[in-house]
Structure 1
Amino acid sequence: MVRLIGFLVGLGFVGVVLWSFLWGVVSYIEEPPVPTVEHEFHLSPKQVSWSFDGPLGKFDRAQLQRGFQVYKEVCSACHSLRLVSFRDLADLGYSEPEIKAIAEQWVVEQPSINPETGEPATRKSIASDRFPSPFANEVAARAANAGALPPDLSLITKARHDGSNYVHSLITGYRPQPAELLKEFPDAKTPDGLHFNPYFANLNLAMAPPLTGDGQVTYADGTKSTTDQMARDIAAFLTWTAEPKLENRKRTGVAVVGFLIILTVLAFLSYKNIWAGKKH
């Protein structure tokens, strides 16, 4: 009896799944999905070769320092980096005095009031501080950016699919709307105050192009700062902020795989030795 009930329940479940599938097929045939402008013109990120690709990949410290310079001089005016401390920059090759000098370029608000002026007290950042937000709060951030909230960049490359390539493509992807887009979707004109970018999910982005041309940043190491170079450098830097232990994780993975290979070989040799001369 129990088997019969179980069989009937399973049969009913299969029937419901089959019915749902057939109903979906019929609905798709009768009312095919209407193509949208996002589906037609959204582009996947361009694929770039990175030094940290692959199981043996490593960060290029010089590139990370250039990327930090791009963040400091371009991105930090709008975007926070709240999960990164100044002292973390030691991983990029900066010395303790250099980190101290970098931290002092940022000012943070103290949770106290200056008794002489009644204004919030401020101080220079120290190495143990995290990068402060460029805005006092979300309201101030939206007010300064036409209602849009600039995202924190600490984990942006993990929060977006194919993160490193996405950041590079987005920064270099600004362009005028294609004529064929407006011809096929006349109502999809980019609204005033937004910027067309085919690598963004809905094609229209509140952020203006952050990189306005070659030479916008003068690199300390003398590297030529083309728009593409700056985009690559900031994408690499933001990959590091999201995965600062990437190299350690890869080294651990390689060691574990090597151990498992050796263990497998030893186990096989032990098996051959134990069963040598035995009749099956």
Structure 2
Amino acid sequence: MSPVTIMPRFLMGAALAAVLALTPAAARAAGEAVNIPNHDFSFDGIFGTFDRASAQRGFAVYKAICSNCHSMRQLSYRHLRSLGLTEAQVNALASQFEVQDGPNDNGEMFTRPARASDHFRRPFANDAAARAANNGALPPDLSVIVKAREGGADYVRALLLGYEDPPEGVTVQPGMNYNKYFPGHQIAMAAPIAADDQVEYTDGTPATVAQMATDITTFLSWAAEPELEARRAMGVRMIIFLTILGGLVYAVKKKVWANIGQHQGLGDGG
């Protein structure tokens, strides 16, 4: 390889190293680096499970607050049975909502009470209607929001608790709100959980802002990955099975090679 070929590659490598070295400093200077606080959720870790009581309270928060703007189209009401709701409770809950169905025998669309098999009702008829009601911003569907955002559950909870007055010298654009955990710190959504007791918990748990943020995050985490517990349980069973299998294989190997060694010794002695 000629020096003419080597030199440009060397310069390109040096330039790339310089860019990578300056990137963290530039990000800090621009205020883009945000440390998301870690929260000890019940579903963290390989043996973690969803706190059903917390998830049920989180659904109550979604129903009372979040469902006014955000859809969850990948969930059906029947899925709530895995959170501990009875079939009667699910049917009663679904029947509170009206959904469009049809066409009927006359070719007309009609509305009816929702059934357990129906998807969660959308708050708006379409995306255009959603934007029109939210100053041009489209509220995202929350079905898999926890998996769709970097930082997952910790980020979602932090975002809900990150609303505050902007620091001195920071100007918030019209129609925007300051949030210390949102990238860029300016978000169109106003604080959805702004005061204690916005939701009345039937189990007597104090509905503080922090508690409601934790509960709705637990519910959204379950909604994004309802098979999490079953998958982890299968993984643990596979690890146990492979450990036992590995031990048996090792024992058989030792036995086989011990017999081979004995036969070789007898052969050498003969």
TM-score (normalizing by structure 2)? 0.87
Kept in 2, the 8 Å contact 1:42–1:199? The answer is no
- 1:202 corresponds to which residue? 184
Matches within 5 A, 1:178-197: 178-179=167-168, 182=169, 189-197=171-179
Partner of 2:214: 232
Letter in 2 for 1:87: R
State the Cα distance separating 1:269 from its structure 2 match.
Answer: 1.1
Q: Judge which range, 73-82 or 190-199, deviates more.
A: 190-199
Match of 2:232 among 241, 250, 256: 250
SS in 2 for 1:40: coil
Deviations 1:126-179 (A, max 9, x none): 000000210011110000000000000000000012211111100010011112
Q: Which residue of 2 aligns with 1:59?
A: 50
Deviation at 1:35, TM superposition (A): 3.8
3-state SS of 1:276 partner: helix
Q: State the distance in 2 between where 1:210 and 1:38 align.
A: 30
Is 1:215 paired with 2:197?
Answer: yes
SS of residue matched to 1:141: helix
SS of 2:62 mapped into structure 1: helix
- Cα 1:273/1:225, change in 2 over 3 Å: same
- 8 Å Cα contact 1:64/1:234 also seen in 2: yes
1:45 deviates by 2.0
Q: Size of the alignment, in residue pairs?
A: 261
| Amino acid in the other structure paired with 1:24 | L
Structure 1 position 143 matched with structure 2 position 137: no
Gaps of 5+ in 1: 1-7, 183-187
Identity %: 41
Contact persistence 2:32–2:184 (CA under 8 A)? no
**Contact 2:39-2:154 within 8 A present in 1 as well:** yes
How far off is 1:19 after superposition? Answer: 3.8
Mark the runs of 5 or more structure 2 residues left unpaired by the alignment: 266-270
Partner of 1:104: 95
Distance 2:250 2:24 in 1: 56
Asked if 1 retains the 8 angstrom alpha-carbon contact of 2:27 and 2:33, the reply is no
Residue equivalent to 1:5: none
Report the alpha carbon displacement of residue 38 of structure 1 after superposing the two structures with TM: 8.4
Q: Do the aligned partners of residues 90 and 26 (structure 1) sit closer, same or farther apart at CA in structure 2, a change above 3 Å counting?
A: closer
Q: Answer yes or no: is 1:124 the counterpart of 2:113.
A: yes
Aligned equivalents of 1:13 and 1:255: distance in 2?
Answer: 55
CA apart distance, 1:203: 1.1
Partner of 1:167: 156
Deviation string 1:22-44 (CA, Å, 9 cap, x unpaired) is 23346789x98984688425523
Farther-moved stretch of structure 1 (90-99 vs 105-114): 105-114
Contact 2:179/2:187 (8 A) holds in 1: yes
Residue 241 of structure 1 corresponds to: 223
Q: What SS does the aligned partner of 2:230 have? A: helix
Provide the secondary structure at the position in 1 that maps to 2:198.
coil
Match of 1:87 among 73, 78, 86: 78
Superposed CA offset, 1:245-269 (max 9, x none): 0000000010111111111111111
Give SS of 2:31's match: helix
Q: How has the CA–CA distance of structure 1 residues 33 and 219 changed in structure 2, closer, same or farther, with 3 Å as cutoff? A: closer
Aligned to 1:270: 252
Tell whether the 8 Å contact from 2:162 to 2:179 is kept in structure 1 after alignment: yes
TM-score after normalising by structure 1: 0.84
Using the alignment, how far apart are the partners of 1:156 and 1:32 within structure 2?
A: 28
Q: Relative to structure 1, is the Cα distance of residues 39 and 250 closer, same or farther in structure 2, using a 3 angstrom cutoff?
A: farther
SS class of match (2:75): coil
- For residues 88 and 20 of structure 2, what CA distance do their matches in structure 1 show? 65
The separation in 2 between residues aligned to 1:201 and 1:150, in whole angstroms, is 16
